[in-house]
Structure 1
Amino acid sequence: MRSYDLAELLLTELHRADSPHQAAPLNRRLYHTLRATILAGYLTAGTQLPSTRDLARDLDLSRNTVMSAINQLVAEGYLTAQQGSGTYVSDTLPDQRPLTPASASRARQARDAEANPRDLSQRGCLLTRDSGAEQFEVQPFAPGALEFTEFPIQLWQKLQAKYWRGLDRDLLDYGQQGGYMPLRAAIAQYLTLSRSVRVEPEQVLITSGTQQAIDLTARLLTDHGDEAWVENPCYWGARRALEAGGLRLRPIAVDAEGISPSDSDWQSNPRLIYVTPSHQYPLGHVMSLQRRRALLKFAASRRCWIFEDDYDSEFRYTGRPFASLQGLDEHAQVLYSGTFSKVMYPGIRLGYLVVPRDLLPAFNTGLYDIYRPGQLMLQAALTDFINEGHLNTLIRRLRVAYRARRDELARRIQQCLGDRVRISGQESGLHLCLVFNPECAGVDDPHAARPPEGAHPTLGRSGGGVDDTAIADAATAHGMSVRPLSRYYIGEPQQRGLILGYAYVPTERVAPWAKKLCELIRRQLA
């Protein structure tokens, strides 16, 4: 262990006010502290201690004080001194078997929790009752490392290295005024050409991704207790962010034309409407032009805001792409969000939020004061990546690769399962949604109960024979990562199925794992 690291640990323990040895001489206090550190497992068997000279310097103690404590521990068998080599923690301790650092930490946490119980807030309980990242994040349905072979890693390293060599010190500061202006200008041009977004560079704010954009919007445009419309089923990250802002969520049904408010929904007064019109998450439907116009008209009449999450619009494989909802907005009621995590790699954590011009001063202030954004070096490299045409080249390559994976996955599913499932969301995106036909549950079992004639084709948790959560669990047991559709619903699920991410699965592995998954589904449905 390095002398500095050990000294920091020992100094903390030496000066604890509740130490029973606080009144003892320094050499005895150091002896007891080192002994307790060894027994707690922080210094494991065979660990070499720093020299007494280095330890005395870092502890700001005399060398004689340190040597006295060390010699006593050697005499008692806690340490062994090897001539010409150094001092080491003994393999066999005289008092007790040492704990590992992890088990020692767990033991302390258990004792502290028992002695000092603390309750989460109601909001905290709501946010942590389910693990969103583990339960809802769409990742590969097949095991193995994520597939990033299409991403030009060496080029990306070269672009970043250029700015580190030049070392513009302004790029080491916080990202004030909405982010790196050349990147904001590049994004504005990209969105104007590719998504028909009406935007000037000043309206683009650089965020750490969609989650931050939703959180910032909720903080600045809504108050605790306001109503927010969300699609049902809904993107879990938006749901979490809006719940964290204290909003009352009103789930709005989704059909083949996107969000589908009922008559009673149209009579409500939401403050914020969250939608994914280009590729509804998770069903994959595209919002029709008629629905878009109706939603914009409603927002203008109610003076409420629309948050447009355009998370994967770059990956459209068939049909003519729709313009953005923001591009149709005549009343500046839409905030438009996008991300580079889907196009480049998830961990880049860079996105953007296009804000109506009259909201810019407030959003610039809120972004800086709440989050203290940075990563200007990364933003500068991304600017070159866009301006030099590398982003468009990457998107074209990814479309070809992802389309091949989607086609293979969909073909295998259709061949194996037929009318047992309906595939939703094939036109674009990075995942497929398999919606189970409840009438096909148990189709391979001649004794299985059939649904009554005239039964509603949708399926609630209490009224159906297909348990998508059980199927997802079975897939997990066989090494596949899929998500049950029912978990994305707020309230009673209206459909059941599976969400399958295919973007990060190597193309050659799609077919064998798709076959394995389909066989498992057939067995479960039977």
Structure 2
Amino acid sequence: MLVRLDGNGRLNQRLYRGLRAAIREGRFAPGSRLPSTRSLARDLGLSRNVVLTAFAQLVDEGYAEGRGGSGTFVSSTLPDPLLAPSPYGARTKAPEAHPRLSAHADRVLALAPLPAVGRPPRAGLRYDFRYGVPAVAEFPQQIWSRLVARRARRMSINTLRYGRALGFSPLCEAIADYVRRARGVAATAEQVIIVNGSQQALDLVARLLIDRGARVAIEEPAYLSARQVFAAAGASLLPVPVDEHGIDVSQLPHGKDVRLAYVTPSHQFPLGGVLPLGRRLELLRWADEAGGWVVEDDYDSEFWYDGRPVEAIQGLDSTGRVIYIGTLSKVLFPSLRLGYLIAPEPIVPALAALKFLMDRHAPTFEQEVLADFITEGHFERHVRRARARNASRRAAMLDSFRELLGDRVEIVGENAGIHMVVWLRGTPAACMHDLIARAADRGLGIYSVAPHYLEPPATTGLLLGYACLTEREIRDGVRLLAEVIETLGK
């Protein structure tokens, strides 16, 4: 307890003045409980009689009141109304409206739209087609809870100590084994770095590779938060066109000053193209010739519906130019905030050092539970079940649009992932704000694809997720959307 012994004189008087000042300044609010005399005496190194005498004077003068068996409390009304407490830490001078910040912070604040800070989900939506959100209600909570309880019962002293910057070793091993089997990634556990979500992985890559003015090739359109990370680092962004197969590799800029190309080859975000093998090999040749890096964001590769998934670019890399990013938010639950980054051996030490300086390491206990979840087979079992459910929801979404809107819409990106893009033919982009507002008034959450473009499209495009809705909710939601579209221009 931080209480000053105010002024000179006897200890009980100095303590009394310190407590009285704390009450007047509002550090002890009216009606709040004061610390016990025993604990305060122990914290301040005083005898309990000194503290009892100071408390007695506070009570005598009306600053405190004793409540039998409950302790001593600050009086609700102070003896002098003019001495009403001001809020603790009240400012005597208004803060600067535009304080001087770092160049990095200025670049962050210049981003449009500004990254959300604690933005709550919209309330009152019956059907929310928010993209990137898994069906958290279907996550096997009982299994996870059992693993959490088991780990808590068996917790060792090592769990409570600082961990490795690279992450919990058994989890790194489990992830390396999984991506080798599921994605064809060529990696050892020593190449895996556990991060607090893929967003931190992108930030680490930016800190590692980007200086101000560095040229970065990025898909157009692209994942907004990735583009913002690179822009905040000071990169000069070079948009590369995307077609139905993903990034057009032939349009990549050449030159040794291009630091990296950011790609989402398994399910281009947001348009959904799957990069064919020929383009993947061409991309690797580009990286080797340019001396640049390929940042492969494999954000939802677990969910594919037609044919077999194409192996990761990282697994085709023979020159060590690919940095692979994986996330668990789209598969398990977003608040877990654990992802992974797999890097060529020569840059692992630098990434580990950057991770250490950023936050030392990811939480150890959660890593231990996740390692158990993966090694005991629960993760892949959950992925298989989620893939089957998402396939049914995808089918319901496609059938509903075909039935209710037919040729009025064009759907892209539906063959993988947990979202699709729906273009409204003949509806100019200027109608988007009105469409979203009208839909929200009817309890329907829909989202524009435009923020993911550097050059916004001329047509209204909706980025719609379906994993967190039931098939019936999807059908009802699309029916409601069709009704809202009919009202445009009226």
Same fold (TM over 0.5): yes
Aligned AA (1:118): P
| Distance apart, 1:494 and its partner CA | 5.4
Of 191, 210, 213, the residue aligned with 1:225 is: 213
1:128 matches 2:97: no
| Distance apart, 1:173 and its partner CA | 3.5
Counterparts of 1:376-455 in structure 2, within 5 Å, are 376-437=364-425, 439=426, 441=427
- Relative to structure 1, is the Cα distance of residues 474 and 29 closer, same or farther in structure 2, using a 3 angstrom cutoff? farther
Secondary structure, in 3 states, of the residue corresponding to 1:484?
coil
Distance in 2, Cα, partners of 1:98 & 1:470 = 50
Distance in 2, Cα, partners of 1:485 & 1:242 = 20
1:43 matches 2:43: no
In the other structure, the counterpart of 1:212 is: 200
Counterparts of 1:73-152 in structure 2, within 5 Å, are 74=59, 79-83=64-68, 85-91=70-76, 95=81, 104=87, 108=90, 111-114=93-96, 118-129=99-110, 130-133=113-116, 142=128, 147-152=135-140
Distance in 2, Cα, partners of 1:278 & 1:170 = 38
In the other structure, the counterpart of 2:174 is: 186
Aligned AA (2:29): L
| Distance apart, 1:26 and its partner CA | 1.9
Q: Say if 2:129 and 2:465, in contact at 8 Å, map to a contact too.
A: no
1:344 matches 2:332: yes
- Gaps spanning 5+ residues in structure 2: where? none
What is the TM-score of this pair, normalised by structure 2? Answer: 0.84
Distance in 1, Cα, partners of 2:277 & 2:134 = 36
Bigger Cα displacement from structure 2, 246-255 vs 136-145: 136-145
| Distance apart, 1:220 and its partner CA | 2.4
**1:492-525: CA deviations, max 9, x gaps?**
4455422222223355533333433443343236
- Relative to structure 1, is the Cα distance of residues 258 and 268 closer, same or farther in structure 2, using a 3 angstrom cutoff? farther
- Gaps spanning 5+ residues in structure 1: where? 1-6, 16-20, 442-463
- Relative to structure 1, is the Cα distance of residues 86 and 237 closer, same or farther in structure 2, using a 3 angstrom cutoff? same
- Relative to structure 1, is the Cα distance of residues 212 and 249 closer, same or farther in structure 2, using a 3 angstrom cutoff? same
Distance in 1, Cα, partners of 2:442 & 2:422 = 19
Distance in 2, Cα, partners of 1:253 & 1:405 = 30
| Distance apart, 1:337 and its partner CA | 1.2
- Relative to structure 1, is the Cα distance of residues 340 and 309 closer, same or farther in structure 2, using a 3 angstrom cutoff? same
- Relative to structure 1, is the Cα distance of residues 379 and 29 closer, same or farther in structure 2, using a 3 angstrom cutoff? same
- Relative to structure 1, is the Cα distance of residues 245 and 384 closer, same or farther in structure 2, using a 3 angstrom cutoff? same
**1:214-235: CA deviations, max 9, x gaps?**
2222222333321111112221
In the other structure, the counterpart of 2:316 is: 328
Q: Say if 1:486 and 1:495, in contact at 8 Å, map to a contact too.
A: no
Aligned AA (1:363): L
In the other structure, the counterpart of 2:468 is: 504
- Relative to structure 1, is the Cα distance of residues 280 and 525 closer, same or farther in structure 2, using a 3 angstrom cutoff? farther
Secondary structure, in 3 states, of the residue corresponding to 1:512?
helix
**1:372-397: CA deviations, max 9, x gaps?**
21433333332332222211110011
Q: Say if 2:15 and 2:51, in contact at 8 Å, map to a contact too.
A: yes
Q: Say if 1:138 and 1:501, in contact at 8 Å, map to a contact too.
A: no
Aligned AA (1:186): A
1:162 matches 2:150: yes
Distance in 1, Cα, partners of 2:341 & 2:16 = 60
1:484 matches 2:448: yes
Distance in 2, Cα, partners of 1:89 & 1:362 = 54
Distance in 1, Cα, partners of 2:290 & 2:119 = 32
**1:440-477: CA deviations, max 9, x gaps?**
x3xxxxxxxxxxxxxxxxxxxxxx45332443344445
Distance in 2, Cα, partners of 1:174 & 1:497 = 47
- Relative to structure 1, is the Cα distance of residues 120 and 351 closer, same or farther in structure 2, using a 3 angstrom cutoff? same
Distance in 2, Cα, partners of 1:429 & 1:110 = 54
| Distance apart, 1:37 and its partner CA | 4.5
Distance in 2, Cα, partners of 1:109 & 1:525 = 51
Q: Say if 2:272 and 2:412, in contact at 8 Å, map to a contact too.
A: yes
Secondary structure, in 3 states, of the residue corresponding to 1:123?
helix
- Relative to structure 1, is the Cα distance of residues 135 and 232 closer, same or farther in structure 2, using a 3 angstrom cutoff? farther
Secondary structure, in 3 states, of the residue corresponding to 1:483?
coil
Q: Say if 2:295 and 2:324, in contact at 8 Å, map to a contact too.
A: yes
- Relative to structure 1, is the Cα distance of residues 155 and 211 closer, same or farther in structure 2, using a 3 angstrom cutoff? same
- Relative to structure 1, is the Cα distance of residues 170 and 31 closer, same or farther in structure 2, using a 3 angstrom cutoff? closer
**1:303-346: CA deviations, max 9, x gaps?**
11000000110011223321211222233211111112221111
Q: Say if 2:224 and 2:451, in contact at 8 Å, map to a contact too.
A: no
Distance in 2, Cα, partners of 1:274 & 1:481 = 29
- Relative to structure 1, is the Cα distance of residues 420 and 501 closer, same or farther in structure 2, using a 3 angstrom cutoff? same
- Relative to structure 1, is the Cα distance of residues 61 and 361 closer, same or farther in structure 2, using a 3 angstrom cutoff? closer
Secondary structure, in 3 states, of the residue corresponding to 2:95?
helix
Distance in 1, Cα, partners of 2:290 & 2:254 = 10
Q: Say if 1:49 and 1:88, in contact at 8 Å, map to a contact too.
A: yes
Distance in 1, Cα, partners of 2:208 & 2:261 = 14
In the other structure, the counterpart of 2:344 is: 356
Distance in 1, Cα, partners of 2:432 & 2:119 = 14
Of 279, 282, 291, the residue aligned with 2:270 is: 282
Aligned AA (2:95): A
Counterparts of 1:67-78 in structure 2, within 5 Å, are 70=55, 74=59
Secondary structure, in 3 states, of the residue corresponding to 2:275?
coil
| Distance apart, 1:196 and its partner CA | 1.6
Distance in 2, Cα, partners of 1:255 & 1:146 = 26
- Relative to structure 1, is the Cα distance of residues 237 and 143 closer, same or farther in structure 2, using a 3 angstrom cutoff? closer
Bigger Cα displacement from structure 2, 208-217 vs 262-271: 262-271
Distance in 1, Cα, partners of 2:85 & 2:386 = 49
Q: Say if 1:52 and 1:67, in contact at 8 Å, map to a contact too.
A: yes
What number of residue pairs does the alignment pair up? 479
Distance in 1, Cα, partners of 2:72 & 2:29 = 12
The percentage of aligned residue pairs carrying the same residue is 36
**1:268-310: CA deviations, max 9, x gaps?**
8411111101111122222233332322221111111000000
Q: Say if 1:147 and 1:504, in contact at 8 Å, map to a contact too.
A: yes
Aligned AA (2:34): L
RMSD: 3.7
Distance in 1, Cα, partners of 2:204 & 2:352 = 10
